Amino acid sequence: MTKAAFSLAVLWSLATVVVAQPVQTPQGAWLQDDIKWLKAPKKINPKLRYGRAAIIYFGPDHTFALIYAWVERVQGKYEGISNGDGQVVYMGSWELAEKTVKVKYRLVSRTVQVAGEQLPGPFKEDIARIEGAVVLFLEHSFHRSAALDADVVEYFPHDEH
């Protein structure tokens, strides 16, 4: 086998493995990548950063959430949703469809009500694309943020037993 033929065979087998890989199902909370992080006043916490962000959540039971909120972060120690600031919350469901995730969701709450707006709002349908370790949704890229899982789960109704 020539060197060129061997190289071609290796490339072909790598391409076959890549194509054969199943699409990873996104799970948990995903934080928007292009957040404009601001610094908290030094007397509050010199390491604290905060920014307005979108968070998407894919639950194991196919529940879906899109939350617009302020996120607080101390690099390497803490990342969480600020409970005292404005929030807009959409809830719905998701399903895997080849290399995309179909989501169906609607507005269920917002901190500051809009006059005449009826909640829950009408359903919307969108597509999220999975590209490696990134989810692309609503013209933004999102990365996995396990630190936000517990905060997001608090938005879902809990069964009281």
pLDDT of residue 23: 54
In a domain, 90, yes or no: yes
- Could you report the per-residue pLDDT of 145-160, keeping only the tens digit for each? 999 999 999 988 865 4
Residue 55 lies in a domain: yes
- Residue 145 CB neighbour total at 10 angstroms: 21
pTM of this prediction?
A: 0.81
Find out whether 62 and 152 touch, Cβ atoms under 8 Å: no
**Do the domain assignments include residue 140?**
yes
Write down the pLDDT at residue 120: 96
Q: What percent of the chain has pLDDT over 90?
A: 70
Domain that holds residue 29: 24-153
The answer to whether 23 and 96 are in contact (CB under 8 A) is: yes
- In the predicted structure, residue 8 carries a pLDDT above the cut 80: no
Q: Does 48 reside within a domain?
A: yes
Token pair for residue 48? Answer: 């604290």
Neighbour count for residue 66 (Cβ, 10 Å):
21
The answer to whether residue 112 is domain-embedded is yes
pLDDT at 74 over 60: yes
Most confident of 5-9, 14-18, 22-26, 129-133: 129-133
pLDDT value at position 15?
40
Tally the domains of the chain: 1
On the question of pLDDT at 52 being above 60, the answer is yes
User: Is residue 17 situated within a structural domain?
Assistant: no
Radius of gyration of the chain (CA): 20
Average pLDDT of the chain to the nearest whole number = 85
- Supply the CATH number for residue 111's domain: 2.40.128
Residue 9 counted as domain residue: no
